[in-house]
């Protein structure tokens, strides 16, 4: 037998390592992850915005009908009633008021546009579950303007019954920017009484690979002192910064996959999420154009889900149709096999697949994500898996 003194010394030497790892990698969050973030320019925020997006999506669906999305017809037919209900009840899960690239207002009207957007949202009887703002970057020419817009927006939003908001920081290039921004967030929280989460947009090559050869993303994430809830891929800024021709800029370009894989590795175990970007091919115009845009969007959403990206950006109301059809179809198709394997794992039933705890965690997580977005119902999940929400959370390792 190994001498107890040897084991005690082993514990003593590794205890600090255990503590550091536990702090840096606390595990997945129990907080629901939205399936998308909808970006709306500050000057385009109007009363009833979220409901209007849902209504516009339903009109587009009724007018054009769904094309072949490369999914089984019976699966699509099964999810359509759920999608219509979602578009009527909660079409936008995460709203981001945009005062950066999507906002074209002149500097002398930005104050008014941001104040007006905040006032509109503060007066809304029902807001999306997640809400925030993307201000301008921390580069020298825009940093004070960006902080001012954030200050004005949060001031107008305070007192609207919200206790939390999201700040999206674009075009981050250096770990020092993240560290320097934390005291600003502290001051904004204290001033406006809102808890603020921070998202970083991965739009520059410097955010992925630093001059010292290290993965900047991971250093940025851990410099965020637990505030950072997501890394968001910026499809077009990132592609352009690599010199990729505009025709070939897309979230499924090999360069995008390389950056997004680095994002996935950086967030693993931290509680932060890696988020896919957008497509600027919008479903507008005649039916043929709308169908082509829907087919592209559905393919990109399905591709992202298969690669572990459960959230992306939507830029137009009609994109909500394929966002939810593709997402709901993904989770409903995943349920039967996930349920059978979870049942076999929990009850230690021998079969053709030998699952380990890590795989059980992934199986439980996909079921939980389906529940969170409305693709699955609690009763059918309980019947299929024999597990309640608390047991699924435990198996998923959610903290």
Give residue 347's pLDDT: 78
Give the containing element (helix H, strand E) for 232: strand 228-233
Per-residue pLDDT for 33 more than 90? Answer: yes
Q: What is the pLDDT of residues 115-162, one digit of tens each?
A: 999 999 999 988 999 999 999 999 999 999 999 999 999 999 887 778
Percentage, residues of the chain above pLDDT 70: 98
Structural domains of the chain in order of their starting residue, each with its CATH number: 36-330 (3.20.20.60)
Q: Quick check: 343 pLDDT over 90?
A: no
| pTM, entire model | 0.93
Q: Which residues make beta-bridge pairs with 40?
A: 97
Contact 365, 28 (CB under 8 A): yes
Taken in order 176, 178, 183, 184, the sign of the CA dihedral is positive
Among 235, 323, 314, 220, which Cα is nearest to 272's? 220
Cα separation, 154 vs 323, in Å, equals 29
> Which residue carries 């904004």 as its tokens?
188
How do strand 94-98 and strand 228-233 relate by DSSP bridges? unpaired
Q: How far is the C-alpha of 381 from the C-alpha of 388, rounded, in Å?
A: 8
* HEC readout, 42-60: HHHCCCCHHHHHHHHHHHH
pLDDT in tens, 347-375: 776 555 556 788 888 899 999 999 999 99
Could you report the per-residue pLDDT of 271-299, keeping only the tens digit for each?
A: 999 999 999 999 999 999 999 999 999 99
Average pLDDT, the chain: 94
Q: pLDDT for 181-205, tens place per residue?
A: 999 999 999 999 999 999 999 999 9
Residue 280 burial (10 A CB sphere; 0-12, 13-18, 19+): middle
Residues 28-43 have a mean pLDDT of: 94
Measured at the CA of 245, the angle between CA 232 and CA 237, to 5 degrees, comes to 25
Give the span between the Cα atoms of 187 and 176, in whole angstroms. 18
List strands edge to edge, sheet with 312-314.
273-275, 228-233, 195-202, 164-169, 130-134, 94-98, 36-41, 312-314
Give pLDDT, residue 348: 73
Is the pLDDT score of 106 beyond 90?
Answer: no
pLDDT at 344: 83
Q: What is the mean pLDDT of residues 309-336?
A: 97
Kind plus residue range of the DSSP H or E element containing 95:
strand 94-98
Over residues 77-85, mean pLDDT: 97
Instruction: State percent of the chain over pLDDT 90.
Output: 85
Band of pLDDT at residue 345, cut at 50, 70 and 90: confident
């Amino acid at each position: 037998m190994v001498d107890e003194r040897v084991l005690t010394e082993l514990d003593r030497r590794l205890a600090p390592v255990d503590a550091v790892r536990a702090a840096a990698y606390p595990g997945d969050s129990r907080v629901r992850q939205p399936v998308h973030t909808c970006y709306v320019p500050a000057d385009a925020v109007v009363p009833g915005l979220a409901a209007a997006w849902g209504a516009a999506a339903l009109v587009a669906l009724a007018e054009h009908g769904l094309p072949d999305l490369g999914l089984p017809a019976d699966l699509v037919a099964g999810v359509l009633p759920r999608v219509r209900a979602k578009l009527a009840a909660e079409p936008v899960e995460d709203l981001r008021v945009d005062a950066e690239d999507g906002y074209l207002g002149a500097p002398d009207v930005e104050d008014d546009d941001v104040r007006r957007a905040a006032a509109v949202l503060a007066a809304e009887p029902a807001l999306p579950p997640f809400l925030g703002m993307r201000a301008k970057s921390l580069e020298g020419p825009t940093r004070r303007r960006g902080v001012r817009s954030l200050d004005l927006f949060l001031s107008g939003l305070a007192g609207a019954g919200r206790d939390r908001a999201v700040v999206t920081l674009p075009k981050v290039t250096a770990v020092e920017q993240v560290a320097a921004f934390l005291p600003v967030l502290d001051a904004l929280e204290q001033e406006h009484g809102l808890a603020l989460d921070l998202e970083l947009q991965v739009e520059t090559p410097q955010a992925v690979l630093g001059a010292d050869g290290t993965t900047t993303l991971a250093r940025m994430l851990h410099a965020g002192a637990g505030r950072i809830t997501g890394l968001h891929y910026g499809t077009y800024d990132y592609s352009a910064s690599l010199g990729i021709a505009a025709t070939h800029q897309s979230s499924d370009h090999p360069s995008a996959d390389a950056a997004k894989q680095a994002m996935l590795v950086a967030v693993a175990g931290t509680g932060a999420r890696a988020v896919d970007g957008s497509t600027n091919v919008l479903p507008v115009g005649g039916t043929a154009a709308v169908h082509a845009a829907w087919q592209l969007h559905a393919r990109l959403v399905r591709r992202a889900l298969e690669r572990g990206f459960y959230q992306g950006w939507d830029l137009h109301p009609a994109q909500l149709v394929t966002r939810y059809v593709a997402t709901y179809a993904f989770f409903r198709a995943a349920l039967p096999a996930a349920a059978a394997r979870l049942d076999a794992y929990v009850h230690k039933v021998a079969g053709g697949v030998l699952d380990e705890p890590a795989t059980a965690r992934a199986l439980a997580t996909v079921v939980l994500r389906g529940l969170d977005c409305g693709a699955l119902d609690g009763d059918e999940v309980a019947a299929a898996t024999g597990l309640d929400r608390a047991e699924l959370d435990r198996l998923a390792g959610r903290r």
